[in-house]
Amino acid sequence: MTLKRQSVIPPARLLAVVGGLIFMANCGGSSSTSITTTPPPPTTNNSVDLAVNLGPTDDYINGLFASVEVCEPGSTTNCATVPNVLVDTGSYGLRLLSGAVSGLTLPAVTDSGGNAVQECIGFVSLAYIWGPVVQADVHLSGETASSASIHIISETPQYPVPSSCIPTGPVGTPEALNSVSTLGANGILGVGGFPQDCGSLCTDTSTAPPQYYSCPSGNCNITAVPKTATKGQVWNPVALFSTDNNGVLISFPSSIAAGGAATAAGSLIFGIGTQTNNALGSAQIYGVSDQAYFTTTYNGTQYSDSFIDSGSNAYYFLDSGTLGGLECADNTGWYCPAAPLSFTVTNTGTNGTSGSLTFSIENFDNLYPTGYAAFNDIGGDSGNSLSTDYFDFGVPFFYGRNVFVGIAGQTVTGVSNVPYGFWAY
Amino acid sequence: MKTMARVLLILTLGAAPAWAVLGEYESSVSLDTKFMRGEDRVTSAQGYKLHQITSPAGAVVTEYVSPEGKVFGVSWRAPVTPNLEKLLGSYITPVQQAAQAQTRRRGGPFIVRASDLIFVSGGHMRGFHGSAYVPSLLPKNVSAEVVR
């Protein structure tokens, strides 16, 4: 817990600058002409450092780590700065290990019955996290999400995790990611393209999936939680900022050389087209589906469940069978070509934008022993055959790029026809 | 009395071997439909049959049935991964074992290639999907690619 805190600059009004930009949208791309108006409005610090290193467990490859400050609602002194939080564009909302905020008293979010709301989040790995939803002021650079609902990952749960939320059932379950050693981080900062982590389904028990629970008398049952900005579902904190709240830019100006790098550095910048450091520039806009997918075409086959995800630590695509036996000898699930392999694919957004890109894959068994944390050319299977494969553009995709994530329902000047948000690069 | 009935119901279901479907007979699909509070739509394809169960919670589970009446594959597309213990039955064991042995792949898809089970789990928050099939139960002249 820290007792000092930087002062928060009041919300900057950027209408003058936004109004001075003329955007011409065509085919999803946009070009802009800037007409400077004077004087420039006061700007909010909207940039957080991203570090790629092996993380607190000294074994994390391609993890984007940032520091997050959380305070008791309304307090400027009862705060904790939590380092080593993973920045994840594949999820929505801030989740912190209970030990990282143990010095704070954070009020519970309750359901209509007055019972504290608990949440269970499953991963594609079938591991899960479980714990209460609480309110906190979330500070990221000069931006604040006031009284935001955040998820506390219980290291010693108050209630046993309900079996209905563990896909593999209560016997022989995969581990709960409820410690630094199992999570590899102190938490997850979900800054993907939705405002909430569930949405309308969770607002009614007749449609709610096994995600939000309350536990009167110790028995946990699925409960309804509204989408309200406070005292409701867990929100992507960016969508709660008073400015720079329409998305994020993840910027890694330098690419990583073949063979990897010990570490890498980048920035998580809030807002899109709201300040001089987050202009779309020449980036192409790719609209996403209602489940945040777009289509990747490779060798004439379309993979419609493809996506960009800073929470995935590699390119996960195709499968070793399709690729003619690229499976590594030592590291199962990774690709090990004898010489670097190049792949050229075309991504197509729901708004019709299409563009090609090329990436390379090197031998993971050779790279892994370097002990480096940053690799721009590692990959593994996404499925088992053409019908289950897709392209997951993980952290290597972000190196040497500016990647924007537009939040569904928010306005970005010059961008239209993307009801479920977008990626731009 | 009501409590007693509930206890009996739980006992009965707990004892039923066909609670789960993969590798079981087609009749077990109805138990999944009940569990998901879903609607079952049956369609025929070349050499097999599909049950597509749509739940009010936005989950779509498809079960693939051979001409012999056995479920040889299941797939799902849902806001959260459905209860795989119920869908996979005894085939959950290799998935549980593999889930505990994952290393270095972080946040990516999860794939299991066991002796008689091929399993994939993919996607991201608010959009999960996956499938599983039993190679030895695949009907003649039906490609595993149909399970998706």
pLDDT tier at A156, thresholds 50, 70, 90? very high
pLDDT tier at A312, thresholds 50, 70, 90? very high
Residues A212 and A67 in one domain: yes
Task: Kindly state the percentage of chain B with pLDDT values over 70.
Answer: 85
Task: Kindly state the percentage of chain A with pLDDT values over 90.
Answer: 85
CB-closest option in A63, A199, A305 to B126? A199
Tokens representing residue A394 in the block: 């993980």
Domain that holds residue A179: 11-27+44-240
Pick the range with the lowest mean pLDDT from A100-109, A303-312, B3-12, B119-128: B3-12
As a whole number, mean pLDDT of residues A68-79 equals 98
Residues A212 and A151 in one domain: yes
Nearest Cα of chain A lies from the Cα of B90 at a distance, in angstroms, of 11
Rounded Cα distance between A185 and A19, Å, is 41
Give pLDDT, residue A170.
62
Entry pTM: 0.89
Residues A214 and A93 in one domain: yes
Residue of chain A whose alpha carbon sits nearest to that of B102: A125
Pick the range with the lowest mean pLDDT from A101-110, A165-174, A375-384: A165-174
Please say whether the beta carbons of A380 and B105 come within 8 A: yes
Looking at the domain assignment, is residue A386 inside a domain?
yes
Q: Residue A419: which CATH number?
A: 2.40.70
Q: Where are the alpha helices (DSSP H) in A137-292?
A: 180-183
| pLDDT tens-digit readout, B51-107 | 999 999 899 999 999 999 999 999 999 999 998 988 999 999 999 888 877 778 999
Beta strands at A294-298 and A341-348: parallel, antiparallel or unpaired: antiparallel
Share of chain A residues as helix, strand and coil, in percent rounded to the nearest 5: 10, 35, 55
Beta strands at A379-380 and A315-317: parallel, antiparallel or unpaired: parallel
Residues A236 and A284 in one domain: no
| pLDDT tens-digit readout, A333-388 | 999 999 999 999 999 999 999 999 999 999 999 999 999 999 999 999 999 999 99
Residues A230 and A288 in one domain: no
Residues A198 and A310 in one domain: no
Which chain A residues are closer than 8 Å to B148 by Cβ?
387-388
pLDDT tier at B19, thresholds 50, 70, 90? very low
Looking at the domain assignment, is residue A35 inside a domain?
no
Please say whether the beta carbons of A122 and A128 come within 8 A: yes
Residues A66 and A124 in one domain: yes
Give pLDDT, residue A374.
98
Which chain B residues are closer than 8 Å to A291 by Cβ?
123, 126-127
Looking at the domain assignment, is residue A87 inside a domain?
yes
Q: Quick one: which of A128, A147, A127 has its CA closest to A137? A: A147
Q: Quick one: which of A73, A225, A84, A217 has its CA closest to A148? A: A73
Residues A321 and A216 in one domain: no
CB-closest option in B84, B126, B144 to A194? B126
User: Into how many domains does chain A fold?
Assistant: 2
Residue A18 pLDDT > 90:
no
Average pLDDT for chain B: 85
pLDDT tier at B34, thresholds 50, 70, 90? confident
Give pLDDT, residue B100.
75
| pLDDT tens-digit readout, A253-303 | 999 999 999 999 999 999 999 999 999 999 999 999 999 999 999 999 999
Looking at the domain assignment, is residue A39 inside a domain?
no
Looking at the domain assignment, is residue A143 inside a domain?
yes
Of A240, A271, A294, which marks where a domain is finished? A240
Residues A236 and A283 in one domain: no
